């Protein structure tokens, strides 16, 4: 992976610290599942991740975003451990390898969960950690796992076993193909915008900032494609299937 090109994509360089890299990544590279609804192949091969995120100026979901970010951080000399998570589905936890997160130099780093922390979180601190994205708490859970809570609600449970990116390939396939996966049900594209968050969900453009939320309908294909292009830098030649 061409690390310098990746850093240029997010407006950083080799002197940028982890805290700022975490924020810049989320402001520049959107969390999005559009490939699933465009019928595009999703690959976790490092060269394919670089082509999609840097050369094609796209985003991706957790396996792609945290997978690529891990490679960049390792090239910059950081100590990176890939960890598997089960996401809180409301009344149950998702399957093993449901989510990929990163432990980096003693910090929880996650640029692939959508609306999450703006900055890395102290992994061993059990006190609440205020962040622009909410108040996060990291606490032990049964069987040696670790729970990550946002504003008192469980976000995901981390299995404390070192993993490699290829370990996530089967669940990546499930997430992009199964009707039981929430990724196959609707389109999502979201990124940080300073203190705000911009999101396109289906045909709705949503802007949130603190307790403020506005929604705008995108009723035509041209309006939807323009919103992807102008707010996320994503240029598509057709509307994703789920948004038609």
- Please tell me the distance from the alpha carbon of residue 121 to that of residue 106, in angstroms, as a whole number: 9
Query: 212: buried, middle or exposed (CB in 10 Å: 19+, 13-18, 0-12)?
Result: exposed
Predicted local distance difference test score (pLDDT) of residue 128: 98
Predicted local distance difference test score (pLDDT) of residue 142: 83
Pairs from 146-154 (Cβ < 8 Å, separation ≥ 24): 148/85, 148/101, 148/108, 148/121, 150/116, 150/117, 153/88, 154/88
| Residue 97 backbone class (left: φ over 0; alpha: ψ -120 to 50; beta: rest) | left
Predicted local distance difference test score (pLDDT) of residue 241: 84
Residues 23-81 have pLDDT tens digits of: 999 999 999 999 999 999 999 999 999 999 999 999 999 999 999 999 999 999 999 99
- What are the two backbone dihedrals, phi and then psi, of residue 106, each rounded to the nearest 5 degrees? 85, 10
Q: Which helix or strand (DSSP H or E) is residue 155 part of?
A: strand 153-163
CA-wise closest residue to 28 among 44, 45, 12, 15: 12
32: CB partners within 8 A, 6+ apart: 58, 59, 60, 61, 187, 188, 189, 190, 232, 234
Predicted local distance difference test score (pLDDT) of residue 243: 58
DSSP letters for 115-137: S--SS-EESS--S-EEETTEEEE
Q: Which residues of the chain have pLDDT under 70?
A: 242-244
> Beta-carbon neighbour count of residue 181 at 10 Å?
17
> Beta-carbon neighbour count of residue 139 at 10 Å?
10
Helix boundaries (H) for 76-220: 169-177
Predicted local distance difference test score (pLDDT) of residue 143: 87
Are the C-beta atoms of 109 and 102 separated by less than 8 Å? yes
DSSP E strands, 41-92: 80-87
Predicted local distance difference test score (pLDDT) of residue 119: 98
Predicted local distance difference test score (pLDDT) of residue 90: 84
């Amino acid at each position: 992976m061409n690390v310098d090109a990746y850093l240029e994509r997010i407006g950083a360089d080799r002197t940028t610290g982890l805290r700022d890299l975490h924020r810049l990544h989320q402001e520049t590279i959107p969390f999005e599942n559009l490939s699933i609804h465009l019928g595009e192949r999703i690959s976790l091969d490092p060269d394919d991740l670089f082509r999609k995120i840097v050369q094609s100026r796209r985003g991706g979901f957790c396996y792609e975003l945290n997978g690529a970010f891990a490679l960049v951080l390792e090239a910059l000399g950081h100590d990176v451990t890939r960890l598997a998570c089960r996401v809180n589905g409301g009344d149950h936890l998702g399957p093993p390898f449901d989510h990929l997160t990163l432990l980096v130099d003693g910090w929880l780093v996650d640029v692939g969960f959508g609306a999450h922390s703006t900055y890395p979180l102290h992994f061993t601190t059990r006190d609440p950690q205020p962040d622009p994205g909410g108040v996060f708490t990291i606490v032990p859970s049964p069987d040696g796992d670790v729970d990550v809570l946002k504003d008192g609600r469980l976000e995901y449970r981390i299995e404390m076993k070192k993993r490699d990116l290829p370990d996530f390939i089967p669940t990546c396939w499930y997430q992009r193909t199964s009707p039981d996966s929430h990724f196959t049900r609707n389109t999502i594209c979201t990124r940080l915008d300073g203190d705000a968050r911009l999101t396109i969900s289906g045909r709705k453009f949503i802007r949130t900032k603190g307790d403020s939320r506005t929604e705008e309908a995108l009723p035509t294909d041209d309006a939807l494609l323009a919103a992807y292009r102008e707010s996320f830098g994503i240029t598509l030649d057709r509307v994703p299937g789920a948004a038609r």
